[in-house]
Amino acid sequence: MSLPSWATEVVARYESGAAGQFILHGNVADRMLLRLPEGPRLGRLNDYLLDVLLPRFQVVLTYDPGFGLRVERGQEIFADWPALREIGELPSLPLPAIRAIARFLQYARNLRAVGAKPVTVAVVLRDAQLYVPVLPQTMNHELSAIASLIRSWGGDTSLAAHGQAIFLVADRIHSLHPLVANNPRAAEIELPLPDTAELAGALAVLAPECPRALAADADFTRIASRLAGTSIAALEAFLRRRNHAGTPLADADLGDLRKALVERDAGELIDFIEPDRSLDDVIGLEGVKTRLRQDLALWKQDEVAALPMGYLFCGPVGTGKTYLAECLAGEAGVPVVTLRNFRDRWVGSTEANLEKIFALLHALGRCIVFIDEADQALGRRASGSGDSGVSSRVYSMLAAEMSDTRNRGRILWVLASSRPDLIEVDLKRPGRIDVKVPIFPTATAAEGMVLLGALCKRRGIPLDDEAKAALLPLVPQWLTPGAAEALAVKAYRLTKTGTPSPQEALHACLQGYLPPVDPLVIKAQMRLASEEATDAEFVPVEVRSYLDAS
């Protein structure tokens, strides 16, 4: 019976004696594919532990704040425990329950010590973040007592030798008390989102139950590969709704379905975008586009060793950095994940949110992670006053993830900023951001006219060559795509409100044009972008001359 990688790691560590206590975190609330001798079925993580990983244990105890302490297996053996009469009804409060578990574990060890028939015991502490949470440094005797007991179990290197195993199940490792989460003797095991094989297996289980939504002869592996990054629980809910409505799942649905399911699982932490643009939609920037297309060709050929870990698009406001990132993803044929406000006021929540985002990125396969306003979003090495160290921890987590070489060719980081000087130097170094691409406004009136002409044409007000030549003297230097877009929209509006000629409309717009951003600000941001450039060829001669002249 094949096991997922996380379960294989648990078995290997336990049987080798390397660990007896395991902290399971990550995708713990999802449905699990249980491959059993009698056939596959779907269940919860608790079912997986009981039926797949722990059938050899004679007694299995579980605890959660809702149901309290329960005996899942071995009620007869547990009933012979002499201390049970003293305890009476099994406790539901955390501290009494943890103390009762500690006493029973010691009782089972004593049986072995006196030569009686040994008893193997497994303990599953569900929703551990609710009763051993991370809290500010305040005195809480009960919480400290619970954390101390659980840590003592993890520090015991003889758990496996005594036939005992402890499992803590939490949504995120950063949600747990530091005494528990940072215990070097406990094995931290992250449960990832399901891979293609698990999703395909889940689809095969669900097909007979949802015949109107999913054909029994469908290619489950192909469908699963299109839905990478989704949870089994979200997929099951969707198929059951479709089955109830009698609507079959079609190939055309898979892109939108993946987006909806991923965003639902991620809450409000990310935006998931399937781009419908390509680098052909980017006006100008021919040298930059050539370099990006070369990298994408290497990506498609799986030449990952030649790929950068990430890009930094820097330049003045309005130069189309976000648009370029979306076009890059569309050209690559991969989704774009943009990070939203993952910061939270609760202690440990920000770090837990980042864990969830990273788990999703790892499950998506190839994707681009886009971080706009990177100078504000990425945090600082040194914490500011009053943030309890959150900023520095966010910085450390992002820096570690961005430099993980296992992600090369799978996760491409794209940062955008008009103030790259405010991004920590360590985050911009090679190995995290290998290529820094400056993006400048149009250097000449001719370039500006090309930009304006293309944008006007997209709005149905094309300009012929004669009109462009007549308007050329009015085109301002250092025109950003954002400003050009505003001019094209204004010209289109004039054609609908009394100035039908595109040439006259654009003439009126250019004659009264005032730059939306102070030219001195634009120039300063151009200088910053020029200084960040990885390659000198990214900086046009006109830009160098303009910046050197002042």
**Listed residue (513, 544, 292) closest to 440, CA to CA:** 544
- Asked if residues 20 and 156 have their Cβ atoms less than 8 Å apart, the reply is yes
**Listed residue (354, 453, 333, 361) closest to 398, CA to CA:** 354
Q: Is residue 175 over pLDDT 90?
A: no
* Three-state secondary structure string covering 15-60: HCCCCCEEEEEECCCCCEEEEECCEEEEECHHHHHHHHHCCCCCEE
Share of the chain above pLDDT 70, in %: 95
Q: What is the mean pLDDT of residues 107-132?
A: 91
Judged by average pLDDT, the poorest of 360-374, 407-421, 491-505 is 360-374
**Listed residue (406, 339, 409) closest to 369, CA to CA:** 339
CATH of the domain spanning 273-438, picked from 3.40.50.2020, 2.10.50.10, 3.40.140.10, 3.40.50.300: 3.40.50.300
Q: Is residue 113 over pLDDT 60?
A: yes
Assess whether the region 5-191 and the region 273-438 belong to the same CATH fold: yes
For domain 5-191, give the CATH number.
3.40.50.300
Helices 321-332 and 286-300 pack at an angle, to 10 degrees, of 30
Q: Is residue 203 over pLDDT 80?
A: yes
Q: What is the mean pLDDT of residues 175-183?
A: 90
Q: What is the mean pLDDT of residues 142-157?
A: 89
- Asked if residues 102 and 149 have their Cβ atoms less than 8 Å apart, the reply is yes
Residue 129 — pLDDT band, cuts 50, 70, 90?
A: very high
Q: Is residue 139 over pLDDT 80?
A: no
Q: What is the pTM of this model?
A: 0.73
Q: Is residue 137 over pLDDT 70?
A: no
Instruction: Enumerate the domain spans of the chain.
Output: 5-191, 196-263, 273-438, 445-511
Q: Which of 255-259, 358-362, 460-464 has the highest mean pLDDT?
A: 460-464
Q: For 19-77, how does the pLDDT look when each residue is reduced to its tens digit (9 = 90+)?
A: 999 999 989 999 999 988 888 999 999 999 999 999 999 999 999 999 999 999 999 99
Q: How far apart are CA 204 and CA 220, in angstroms?
A: 7
Average pLDDT across the chain, whole number: 88
Q: How far apart are CA 221 and CA 197, in angstroms?
A: 7
